[in-house]
């Protein structure tokens, strides 16, 4: 059984929580590894954090927000904890968001130093991103920082590793723990400030919700600039005694399944899109050793559930739900109670209120409050704007079943008003997904002079037509106004670096197509 949730257990600074885990699970326990296959123990991680952190501290100020432009791997994890060891604030930069958004993120967060790696920049051909920081922030490379370590630095790290509480900077749980940026699925990314208590609390909430085994290995191919990849892929395993295996990109569809088997992974973090691709490219046995897969960021299709079951047996896909503002997990299914079509039950310690939405007959707009909810958004001057009474408006329309499990009906902005009726764009996407499950689909709304709005399906299924959509809607009793009457065929439906559908780009594509017609 999972442990009971203790509301006070999350009131810890991040680095203190790391030291607590070292004391509880053993200093020599291996808890971090990446594709270079050089595992680190708690002691190795803490020493590395002190060695690197001392150098970073020499070029930054206490409390300074320091940019991290790094892929998932041991380097970003050590650097994250290095900043915490010396009272600096990791600011996770999304290297897939484009130069404009990156520059905006650096400006709004007041970042003056960005840490990256020569290897990452060269392999990713990202020199343009580094050039974009010119005049905004100084860029330092981890390889150069490591090469500058002296005998005195190493001696300091050894002493600090032996007595970490005596050497780490004293910070408060209410101090900033990380700055992240929302995905930008529906608009410009926003800067989110999570406190140290927000992060540690969310780890404790998940551990109290699902029974976790310290012998497990978490396989995380998701980016740490996304809160799911950071909290669930790094902090949850390491602070709970499990090894975190970090992989730099979820896009390596052929390499990841074999590596999941070779690393003895127990838990995989993924999105519906990625786990579907992994299952199709995997050999028998590659994924069979998993205890479960946790899926977030997008809805898990029945076709994906069925594919995993048919190919790899009883490996549950646990769909969850979260938001960057919630550090991020709000709800998730359990291995012992996994209900398809829902995102699971609320984590302990989260309050909710559901506010009715005009024109939507069931459910309502979800607001959440709790110790995992952010300090606030950054305003244009980099100042944190606190939430009113601690409530965060998720912007999602949800309903609860008789067990308290949450079903997402769609985002408030993902409803269209057609002929006076509110229609869920998510439900319209489900129609297409049922008929063409092997393809990716997105539905957006466009202005219509007669009915107010009309639905447009953007799909990579080149044979998609309206007639099968109408027939399926009739079969399941869905209203025909929920059927898109225009279809745009594309070679690839745009997605963000997190795996989420990029509705901003899709809307722009549809508008260009409309003007050209």
Give the burial class of 475: count Cβ atoms within 10 A of its Cβ; 0-12 exposed, 13-18 middle, 19 or more buried: exposed
Rounded Cα distance, 160 and 333, in Å: 40
Q: Give pLDDT, residue 510.
A: 79
Q: Give pLDDT, residue 187.
A: 54
pLDDT confidence bin for 516, thresholds 50/70/90: low
**286: CB partners within 8 A, 6+ apart:** 257, 258, 260, 261, 312
pLDDT tens by residue, 128-176 = 989 989 889 999 999 999 999 999 999 999 999 999 999 999 999 999 9
Q: Give pLDDT, residue 420.
A: 62
pLDDT tens by residue, 343-379 = 999 999 999 999 988 777 788 899 999 999 999 999 9
Its pTM stands at 0.86
Residue 517 has pLDDT above 70, yes or no: no
Residue 466 has pLDDT above 90, yes or no: no
HSE-CB for 50 with a 13 A CA cutoff: 25
Q: So what CATH class is 14-400? A: alpha beta
Q: Give pLDDT, residue 476.
A: 78
pLDDT tens by residue, 78-117 = 999 999 999 999 999 999 888 888 998 999 999 999 999 9
Dihedral over Cα of 333, 337, 342, 344: its sign: negative
Give the burial class of 209: count Cβ atoms within 10 A of its Cβ; 0-12 exposed, 13-18 middle, 19 or more buried: buried
- Return the minimum-mean-pLDDT range out of 16-25, 165-174, 205-214, 460-469: 460-469
Rounded Cα distance, 391 and 370, in Å: 8
How far are the Cα atoms of 27, 69, 75, 88, 315 from residue 79, in angstroms, in the given order?
A: 19, 11, 6, 11, 34
Mean pLDDT value across residues 474-499:
79
Tokens for 58? 């020499």
Which of 70, 75, 92, 16 lies closest to 40, judged by CA? 75
Q: Give pLDDT, residue 183.
A: 64
pLDDT confidence bin for 509, thresholds 50/70/90: confident
Residue 498 has pLDDT above 80, yes or no: no
Rounded Cα distance, 508 and 358, in Å: 28
Residue 184 has pLDDT above 60, yes or no: no
Mean pLDDT value across residues 278-289:
88
Residue 186 has pLDDT above 90, yes or no: no
- Return the minimum-mean-pLDDT range out of 39-53, 320-334, 344-358, 454-468: 454-468
Mean pLDDT value across residues 211-220:
96
Q: Is the domain 419-516 a CATH 3.40.1280.10 member?
A: no
Q: Give pLDDT, residue 188.
A: 63
pLDDT tens by residue, 230-256 = 999 999 999 999 999 999 999 899 999
DSSP string, 119-175: HHHHHHT-HHHHHHTTTT-EEEEHHHHHHT--HHHHHHHHHHHHSHHHHSPP--TTS
Mean pLDDT of the chain: 89
Rounded Cα distance, 300 and 503, in Å: 18
pLDDT confidence bin for 416, thresholds 50/70/90: confident
Mean pLDDT value across residues 53-59:
95
Percent over 70 (pLDDT), the chain: 96
Residue 2 has pLDDT above 80, yes or no: no
Mean pLDDT value across residues 58-65:
96
Q: Is the peptide bond between 328 and the residue preceding it cis, with omega within 30 degrees of 0? A: yes
pLDDT tens by residue, 265-281 = 999 999 888 898 898 88
Q: Give pLDDT, residue 163.
A: 96
Domain ranges of the chain: 14-400, 419-516
Tokens for 279? 């299952």
Q: Give pLDDT, residue 257.
A: 94
């Amino acid at each position: 059984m999972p442990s009971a949730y203790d509301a006070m257990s999350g009131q810890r600074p991040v680095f203190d929580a790391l030291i607590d885990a070292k004391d509880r699970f053993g200093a020599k326990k291996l808890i971090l590894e990446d594709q270079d296959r050089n595992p680190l123990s708690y002691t190795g991680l803490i020493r590395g954090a002190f060695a690197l952190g001392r150098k970073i501290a020499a070029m930054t100020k206490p409390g300074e927000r320091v940019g991290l432009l790094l892929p998932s791997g041991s380097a970003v994890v050590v650097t994250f904890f290095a900043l915490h060891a010396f009272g600096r604030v990791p600011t996770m930069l999304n290297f897939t968001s484009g130069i404009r958004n990156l520059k905006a993120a650096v400006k709004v967060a007041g970042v003056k130093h960005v840490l990256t790696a020569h290897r990452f920049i060269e392999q990713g051909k990202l020199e343009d991103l580094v050039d974009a920081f010119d005049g905004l922030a100084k860029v330092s490379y981890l390889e150069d920082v490591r090469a500058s370590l002296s005998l005195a630095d190493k001696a300091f790290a050894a002493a600090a590793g032996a007595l970490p509480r005596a050497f780490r900077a004293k910070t408060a749980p209410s101090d900033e723990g990380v700055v992240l940026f929302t995905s930008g699925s529906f608009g410009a990314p926003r800067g989110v400030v999570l406190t140290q208590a927000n992060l540690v609390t969310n780890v404790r909430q998940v551990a109290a919700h699902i029974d976790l085994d310290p012998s497990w290995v978490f396989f995380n191919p998701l980016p740490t600039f996304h809160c799911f990849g950071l909290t669930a892929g790094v902090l949850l395993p390491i602070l709970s005694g499990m090894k975190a295996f970090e992989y730099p990109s979820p896009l390596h569809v052929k390499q990841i399944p074999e590596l999941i088997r070779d690393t003895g992974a127990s838990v995989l973090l993924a999105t519906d899109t990625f786990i579907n691709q992994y299952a199709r490219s995997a050999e028998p046995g590659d994924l069979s050793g998993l205890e479960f897969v946790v899926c977030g960021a997008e809805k898990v299709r029945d076709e994906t559930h069925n594919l995993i079951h048919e190919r790899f047996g009883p490996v549950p896909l646990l769909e969850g739900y979260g938001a960057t503002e919630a550090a991020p997990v709000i709800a998730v299914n359990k291995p012992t109670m996994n209900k398809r079509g829902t995102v699971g039950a609320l984590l302990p310690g989260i309050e909710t209120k559901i506010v009715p939405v005009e024109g939507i007959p069931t459910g309502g707009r979800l607001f959440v409050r709790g110790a995992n909810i952010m300090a606030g958004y950054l305003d244009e001057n980099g100042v944190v704007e606190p939430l009113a009474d601690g409530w965060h408006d998720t912007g999602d329309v949800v309903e609860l079943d008789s067990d308290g499990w949450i079903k997402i009906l769609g985002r408030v902005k993902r409803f269209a008003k057609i002929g006076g009726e509110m229609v869920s764009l998510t439900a319209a996407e489900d129609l297409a997904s049922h008929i063409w499950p092997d393809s990716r689909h997105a539905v957006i709304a466009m202005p219509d002079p007669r009915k107010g709005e009309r639905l447009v399906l953007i799909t990579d299924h080149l044979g998609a037509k309206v007639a099968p959509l109408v027939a399926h809607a009739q079969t399941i009793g869905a209203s025909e106004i929920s059927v898109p009457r225009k279809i745009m065929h594309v070679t690839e439906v745009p997605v963000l670096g997190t795996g989420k559908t990029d509705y901003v780009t899709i809307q722009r594509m549809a508008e260009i197509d409309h003007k050209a017609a």
